[in-house]
Amino acid sequence: MIDRHIRGHRTIAIVAAALALVALVAVAGCGRHDRTAPATTTSAVPGPAAPAGVDDRDPDQVLAWVAARVYSWRPGEDSSPAASFDRARPLLDPVYIRQVGASAAGLANVTGGTWARWRADKAVVSATARVTGDDHPADTPTSRQRVVAIAQHVTDPAAPSEPDRMLVAYMIVTRQTGTDRWRVSMVAPR
Percent of the chain predicted with pLDDT > 90: 65
Domain 59-189 has CATH 3.10.450: yes
Q: Which residues contact 43 (CB under 8 A, 6 or more apart)?
A: 93, 94, 95, 176, 177, 183
As a whole number, mean pLDDT of residues 79-108 equals 94
Domain range summary for the chain, segments of one domain joined by +? 1-33, 59-189
CA atoms within 13 A on the CB side of 66: 36
Tell me phi and psi for residue 95, to 5 degrees. Answer: -65, -45
Would you state the pLDDT for residue 157?
Answer: 85
Top-confidence residue, 36 or 179:
179
Name the pTM for this structure. Answer: 0.74
At 20, is the pLDDT very low, low, confident or very high (cuts 50, 70, 90)?
A: very low
Cα–Cα distance, 143 to 134 (Å, whole number): 16
pLDDT at 140 over 90: yes
pLDDT at 19 over 50: no
